[in-house]
Structures are given as C-alpha cells and as structure tokens.
Amino acid sequence: MKDDPVSQVPALYDTTLRDGTQREGVNLTVDDKLKIARRMDELGVHFIEGGWPGANPKDTEFFRLAADGQLKLEHATLAAFGATRHARNVVEDDPTLKALLHADTSVLCIVGKACAWHAEEALGVTREDNLTMVAESIAYLVAQGRRVFFDAEHFFDGYTRDAGYARAVARVAAESGAECVVLCDTNGGAMPWDVERVVRRLVADLPCDVGLHFHDDGGCAVANSLVGVEAGARHVQATANGLGERCGNANLFTVLADLQLKRGLPLVPTDRLLRMTHVAHAVAELTNQTPPTAQPYVGSGAFAHKAGLHASAVAKSADLYQHVDPALVGNETRLVVSDLAGRATIQLKARELGLTLDEAQVAAVLTEVKRREHQGWSYDAADASFALLLRRIVGDLQEPFELEHFRVTVGGGRGDAAGPTAEAMVAVRVAGERRLGAGEGNGPVDALDHAFRNAANGTWAALDRVHLSDYKVRIIEQSGGRSSAGAHGTDAVTRVLVTTTDGEETWDTVGVHGNIVEASWLALADAYVYAILRG
C-alpha cells in the first residue's frame, strides 16, 4: 500500500520554455531561454524543461549551449521534451528520439496519445499501434540510461470517452519504464471533481508516480493541480505566470505558494520562496509581457489596499485583510510603511555586493526605488542597474565618467540598407578631461555604443571585452502614479532593457525616459559602468 498521499512532496516541473512559449506574442531568443531557466532555478524548482530539441533551431541551440556549460543549474534538473516514435519508424532510427538523446540531458519527457480518438484521427494509427509506439519509445530511452517522464496527452478527455483505453496507455507507459506518467488536460476543460476521482484511480493503478499537466481553458488549472496533489500525484507541471497556449497553463507560482503556504508541503526552501515575486516579474520582462498586477501572491496589486475600510484596518494590522504575509513570497503590502519584503530583498542584494546597510540607508533605497517605480522603472530583470543604484545611494560608487551630452541622427544619406542607419556623437568627462567620440551603427543604440567607445579611446580595457547581446523596449503608461505597459499616449514613457556580456558573465541594465534614445543611453551607461567596475 502506498504512503499517505498528503505526506508526499510533489516535484515541481517548469515547462515555461516549451509550453509557455505557445502563448500568443511570446517569442524568445536562445539568450532569453537561458535567462529564464536561471531565474526558475533561482526559485528552486525541481525540473526545467528546456524545449523540444530538433523541432526548431533555437531549442537545439539551447541544449547545445547547456551541454557546453553555459547553463549551470544549482537546484533544477534540465529536461528535454519530445514525442513517441513515428508510426513508420523503428526507435533506433527515429529522428525525434535521436534528437532527444543528442540533447544530452538525464531526464526526457515524451508525449504520446492517451485518447483512442486522437490516436486514430490525428495520428492515423490503430489503438494497438499507439500502445506499441508508447511502449517501445519509453523502453528504448530508458535502455539508453535516461529517466523518462511520459506526458499522456488528452488523458482526461480520453478517460471520459474510453476510460479503459486511457488507463491502458498509462499502464503500458509505467510498465515500459516511465518514472512518472503525467495526466494531461490538453484542452483545459477538466473540472476538479472529476480530476480528483480520476487521479485517485490512477495512483492506485500505476506502479510509478502520477503527474499533472493542466491548461486553464475552464479556469481551473490551478485548482485541478491542487486537488490532483491531494489525490496522490507527486509531480506537477506548470508555467511561470501561467504562460501557455490559448488561456494558458497552470500558474507555477500560484500552485507553489498554495501547496507550500496552505498545504504545508515544502516544495522549495523558504529562502527561495522569498524570491518568487522577483522571479515572476523578471520572467514577465524577459517574455515581454505586462508584469503581473492582479496575479495571486506575486502581483503588484496582490496585497494592495485602497483607501477606505480595508486600508484603515490594514494600517492597524495587515493580517486583517491579507490571507498570508506577503513577505513570505517577496511581495509587499503597499499601504504599510514597514516594507519587510522590500527591506529583506535590499539587504540580501547589499550582502551580495559586500555592503552593510544601516536602517536609514535601507529606508533611503526603498524610497528611491518607490519613486523610480512610479516613473516607470523596474529592476526585476535588471540586477546590474539595481546594484549600481544601491552603491550610488550609499555613496559607494565613484562614477568613472560623466555625460555632457550626445546627439543621434537617424537615416539620411543614400539609404543603403547594407550600410549604417544612424550616426551619434557623445561628449563625456573622464577624470575632468573632456572626451568626444563619434560613431555609426545599425540604429541609434549601436551608433551610441560605437561613439562612446571611441570617446573612451581605450581608457578601460574591460570595455574591449564586452558587447551588447540584447535590447528590449516597452512603452509604459503613467497612470495615477503607477505604471502599466501597452499605452501610447502623451503620458507614456519608454523603458529599455539592455543585456551585455563579456563572454563569461551576462548582466542586464535598464533605462527609463520619455525619449527612447535617452532611455537607451541610461541603460547603456549603466552597462558600461558595471563592466568597468568588474574590471
């Protein structure tokens, strides 16, 4: 007899980099995927699914870089995703299975049909052939020394149509060596009362762990994940901020906090849970999505209280109108002066920089961060800029240069598409000496970069090793002192996120201004200062 299900801590499997990228409007670069993986590892999740090797060049390159040591995970195990062999292939010659093995990960997750209707209509195979494809694919990968999870696609719909066949698919997967059979609600319409009953049946049926994968088309993805765990599932797949196709997937942050804070299951270390809000906002920035506002636990409004009865009560005791202490997930009560979560984050960052801040300095940092947030700044995905801000406020930074002015000209000339599209001139002071530099580039940011480097003229060797690797722009509406993405009115400002690397480390800086070029310069300047300080 299996152990009491509620005593088992389920594994948290992040599928943001694969299923999350199916969200309309999300288009990640390989560098974006690496950054998001590092953020999710920072949170302490157990598995990170990197993508589908062989399905597209970006995912193949992601796994190549990971294998080359450019993705060092401290907590999570990297997994590669694929499918069962093609109906006409043998496992040894199947391109999908070959690509999975070539990804060089210890964990593989393969998807197969758990619904007879889908097997017959979508794949054009018989029920028996589908079972054989599942069995042979899993057995082959296990024989190659891999841990295999099996995503039973359309399981809940298949169970409704033909419970016996759905159970047979799950059983053959387990008997072929799958470490976990993941029950997938691919169309997102399952209801909690059905989920609990079905999961309990499968937990009793199978000799392996049962996992969960829910979409949110019926608005129940998180609820289904919770009742599935209560019914004995030991593996939960979800995505950061609920990203995913159509209405999205189960929100990993909500599922994690609910299970850990409400059910008492220690999925991640407490100090990792403290970083959840920061990670959620950083992933939003990296996926170029509006940072969560009303999202449970991590939203900027999750613990916000407007004037009136609630605000008055919260001022006396925050617990009167809050279901948990927001500091536990790194968030804050917006009307409470004593911002424990913000203070904890600042103290943690200061210690990482070797700084010791007194209460007055922490308060000064909090005040400045709040002021800047109202102007549209966000440091969630710009750790380097936040580190420099800390040093500036506490007086621990001697600026290596001072901008006098710059000028950028875009377009003009012959209009040669192959040539430079912008020219820039930069005037800076270095140790009291005025330096001028001019440069051409593919756009104003590239031109500014060249102009500044010409002005620096070899003063800092560190700059010779660095280059810009990414550039993101977001329009931020100023609304009632708060900022929100997506506006284009006269009260909008531009937030620019710049990524810089020296080949060993990558850092992100941010700039905000009403003018996109000014915002770009602010982000570039921080990138240069950070590089110079690193030496």
Helix (H) or strand (E) holding 346: helix 340-352
Q: Residue 500: beta bridge partners?
A: 468, 507
Which pair of tokens denotes residue 373?
A: 């947030």
- pLDDT of residue 311 exceeding 70, the answer is no
Is 74 in the same domain as 205?
A: yes
Q: What CATH number does residue 120 fall under?
A: 3.20.20.70
* Percent with pLDDT over 90 in the chain: 74
Name the residue among 43, 113, 108, 115 with its Cα closest to residue 74.
43
Strands 506-513 and 11-14: unpaired
The answer as to whether 485 is a domain residue is: no
The answer as to whether 91 is a domain residue is: yes
Query: Has this prediction a pTM greater than 0.75?
Result: no
Residue 408 vs residues 142, 425, 519: alpha-carbon distances, Å: 59, 7, 13
Longest dimension (CA), the chain: 81
- pLDDT of residue 300 exceeding 70, the answer is yes
Residue of 301 and 16 predicted with greater confidence: 16
- pLDDT of residue 479 exceeding 60, the answer is no
Q: Give the residue from 219, 251, 286 where a domain finishes.
A: 286
Is 278 in the same domain as 408?
A: no
**Residues 249/15, Cβ–Cβ less than 8 Å:** yes
**Residues 410/436, Cβ–Cβ less than 8 Å:** no
The range of the structural domain enclosing residue 444 comes to: 401-459
3-state secondary structure (DSSP) of residue 439:
strand
The answer as to whether 528 is a domain residue is: no
Per-residue pLDDT at 306: 55
Which pair of tokens denotes residue 67?
A: 């294998």
What number is the average pLDDT over the span 282-290?
89
Q: For residues 526 and 426, give the distance between their C-alpha atoms in angstroms, rounded to a whole number.
A: 15
Contacts of 231 (CB under 8 A, 6+ apart): 5, 195, 196, 197, 199, 200, 203
Lowest-confidence pick of 180-189, 392-401, 411-420, 508-517:
411-420
The answer as to whether 323 is a domain residue is: no
The answer as to whether 233 is a domain residue is: yes
> Which amino acid does the sequence have at 26?
V
- pLDDT of residue 345 exceeding 70, the answer is no
The answer as to whether 334 is a domain residue is: no
What's phi and psi for 315, nearest 5 deg? -60, -30
* Percent with pLDDT over 70 in the chain: 90
Per-residue pLDDT at 125: 96
Lowest-confidence pick of 72-81, 101-110, 247-256, 310-319:
310-319
Which pair of tokens denotes residue 526?
A: 């921080």
The answer as to whether 217 is a domain residue is: yes
Lowest-confidence pick of 303-307, 425-429, 453-457, 524-528:
303-307
**Residues 100/110, Cβ–Cβ less than 8 Å:** yes
Q: For residues 433 and 440, give the distance between their C-alpha atoms in angstroms, rounded to a whole number.
A: 24
Helix (H) or strand (E) holding 147: strand 147-153
What number is the average pLDDT over the span 389-402?
92
Q: Give the residue from 459, 477, 505 where a domain finishes.
A: 459
Lowest-confidence pick of 3-7, 277-281, 373-377:
3-7
Q: pLDDT tens-digit profile of 224-242?
A: 999 999 999 999 999 999 9
The answer as to whether 37 is a domain residue is: yes
Domain total in the chain? 2
Per-residue pLDDT at 418: 57
Q: What CATH number does residue 434 fall under?
A: 3.30.160
E strand intervals along 394-444: 402-410, 422-430, 433-441
Is 280 in the same domain as 406?
A: no
Q: Give the residue from 459, 484, 505 where a domain finishes.
A: 459
Q: For residues 472 and 499, give the distance between their C-alpha atoms in angstroms, rounded to a whole number.
A: 9
The sign one gets for the Cα dihedral 485, 489, 495, 496 is: positive
